[in-house]
């Protein structure tokens, strides 16, 4: 604390603080809707929001979509598989095909939102997956795909839809993970991608504020979704032939199933999140789900060597 106070009192620190925070120094567009040509977009009732959620075929994305729909909002959902689009449409959603790493599909989604709704109040960047296995067994392609989906696509989707969010002075919500702060063995790729997403979220929050767009981080813990099953199904791809970690295959499988240990029901999680997210001034961080707070505190409280020992024991490394 003493060091922090000395830094604050120093001339260099004071130079970082704006001398004049008056509104007249902000861009003219700050806090105002852009004047845009009128389109044939659907007119929303006064309190109805237009919401787009990526990766909504199942799990957290679908639960959030249902929770928002129950509140009377116009909900657009995206998924990668045509069969899922059919199912989602039957549930009453506006459903569009989108692989978040496909630039052509993303461009079409942006056009669709503009033409049908005229703007966007809330974007939930939910699409993602978890690669499990030893970090040094992963191939360059596996690293690339994990980051392309969990990190790069968040920036690309947000970039494509930013003009529509600015029209409504909207909100971007990025679905992170407690795994960004509580790293475990055999989830290095996933934890690294979510840590990068948390950092990206911080940068976006500061950079988009002057443009009138809010940025919120959602930090789930263990949630009852298909995440564990999907992670377990990919184990054969993550453990390399001749890997020195072959003897720890049971521990790798245990890590893949860890999110299914005493999870929060996904509908309960979605209700907690939407109650906060749909506020006129949502919090910057929404923490929900089993372990979403306690694991962060455990990381902070325990000495690193002791925590390493505990996690190595938990996942068969000792």
Catalytic hit among 190, 245, 269, 315? 190
Token readout for 180 is: 């960004």
24-26-28 Cα angle (round to 5): 85
Which of these, 121, 152, 158, 137, lies nearest to 42 by C-alpha position? 121
- Rounded-to-integer distance, Cα 184 and Cα 287, Å: 19
Token readout for 3 is: 């060091």
Segment (H or E) for 53:
strand 50-53
Which of these, 46, 49, 41, 90, lies nearest to 71 by C-alpha position? 49
Token readout for 286 is: 């929404």
Judge whether 190 counts as a catalytic residue.
yes
The residues that bridge with 293 in the sheet, in sequence order, are none
Residue 288 makes CB contacts below 8 A (sequence gap 6+) with 218, 219, 220, 221, 264, 269, 272, 273
Token readout for 157 is: 């989707």
Segment (H or E) for 216:
strand 214-220
Which residues are known catalytic residues?
A: 190
């Amino acid at each position: 604390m003493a060091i922090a106070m000395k830094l604050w009192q120093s001339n260099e620190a004071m130079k970082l603080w704006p001398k004049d925070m008056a509104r007249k120094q902000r861009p003219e567009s700050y806090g105002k809707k852009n004047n845009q040509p009128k389109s044939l977009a659907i007119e929303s009732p006064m309190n109805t929001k237009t919401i787009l959620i990526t990766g909504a075929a199942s799990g957290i994305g679908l639960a959030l979509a249902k929770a928002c729909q129950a509140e009377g909002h116009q909900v657009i959902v995206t998924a990668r598989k045509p069969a899922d689009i059919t199912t989602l449409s039957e549930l009453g959603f506006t459903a569009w095909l989108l692989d978040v790493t496909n630039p052509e599909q993303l461009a079409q989604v942006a056009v669709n939102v503009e033409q049908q709704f005229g703007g966007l109040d809330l974007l939930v960047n939910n699409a993602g997956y978890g690669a499990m296995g030893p970090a040094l067994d992963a191939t360059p392609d596996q690293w690339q795909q994990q980051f392309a989906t969990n990190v790069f696509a968040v920036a690309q989707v947000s970039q494509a839809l930013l003009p529509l969010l600015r029209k409504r002075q909207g909100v971007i919500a990025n679905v992170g993970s407690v795994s960004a702060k509580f790293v475990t063995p055999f989830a290095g790729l996933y934890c690294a991608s979510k840590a990068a997403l948390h950092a990206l979220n911080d940068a976006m929050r500061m950079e988009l504020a002057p443009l009138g767009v809010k940025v919120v981080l959602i930090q789930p813990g263990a949630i009852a979704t298909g995440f564990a099953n999907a992670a377990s199904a990919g184990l054969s791809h993550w453990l390399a032939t001749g890997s020195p970690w072959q003897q720890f295959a049971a521990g790798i499988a245990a890590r893949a199933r860890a999110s299914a240990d005493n999870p929060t029901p996904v509908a309960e999680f979605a209700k907690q999140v939407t109650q906060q997210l749909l506020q006129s001034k949502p919090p910057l961080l929404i923490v929900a789900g089993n372990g979403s707070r306690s694991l962060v505190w455990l990381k902070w409280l325990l000495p690193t060597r002791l925590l390493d020992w505990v996690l190595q024991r938990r996942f068969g490394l000792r």
